[in-house]
Amino acid sequence: MESNGSVFGLSADKHIAFLFPLRASWALSYVRSYFLARIETTAYSKLVDAFLKGIFSAQTCLCSFFNQVGISAFLQNLSLQDMQCIHLKTCIPIEEHARSIFTPFAFKALQHELLLAMQYAASEMANGSYNVHHFKQVDGERLVIWIPENEQINCSCREFESSGILCRHAIHVFVVKNYFQLPNKYYISRWQKVSTYLLDYHNNQNIDDEWFKEYQSLAETLFAESSITKERSDYACRELPKEATRILNEVRNMAETDVLDIDITFMPT
């Protein structure tokens, strides 16, 4: 404590002196070696805040809240049937393959890393590992350990361990090694479009199967028609959220006199 206090000028701080003996109870800080699914980023916080504001109000009861979360997640999964509206930014096969697997949030994060990976160079070491460095920043070197037997890659930046998204340094090594797609182990279930957190609607007798099939068919037809041209796609992406929000607000304001007992079953990964 004395050394830390002198370094940071906290030796005379009574509050710090009081808290330090209780440091075993301190909350763990964000560390790169633990999977955090990007919850420490500003972008993630804004997405969660916007999602909750869209389904939550002061009048929402707990049961209705969980039902709304489940329904919103289910509708979002329907919209992830295809991601052709998210345009590719490189001609690298890794990007096109990742688009077919990742959610939009994860794909855009990987796409960002892939673009930056093109600004790096790699020097192979005697043991098969790589020193990866930026073409301008001489002090930003990272060590990437490559184990070909099981296609295992580890970077000293620890981005994959923290977020579940491969870093630009590891991606650069895969490109150097002429990989056309990333090994399956680097598409973790948390970021896949086909989520293991599914709503078990089919076991609920109160859900009208015909209505569900009709809705799914309508959603698929809308997507197919809007994907024909960029003008159609832009129009659908602009107008659909408005209409969906309007309908959702009207439904939410209806009286809950006959509440459906929706069984929301979560299957952990």
Could you report the per-residue pLDDT of 130-139, keeping only the tens digit for each? 999 998 877 6
Mean pLDDT across the chain: 77
Q: How many residues does the chain have?
A: 269
Q: Which two tokens stand for residue 27?
A: 């909350």
**What is the C-alpha radius of gyration for the chain, rounded to an integer number of angstroms?**
24
> What pLDDT sits at residue 197?
45
> What pLDDT sits at residue 123?
93
- DSSP state, 27? P
Contact, 68 vs 55, CB < 8 A? yes
From residue 116, how far is each of 76, 109, 135 by CA, in Å? Answer: 29, 11, 11
> What is the largest distance, in Å, between two alpha-carbon atoms of the chain?
72
Pairing of strands 120-124, 152-155: unpaired
Amino acid at 264: I
What residues in the chain have per-residue pLDDT under 50?
A: 1-2, 196-206, 259-269
> What pLDDT sits at residue 40?
65
Nearby residues of 261 by Cβ (< 8 Å), 6 or more positions away: 204, 206
- Residue 133: strand, helix, or coil: strand
How many other C-beta atoms can be found within 10 angstroms of the C-beta atom of residue 143?
14
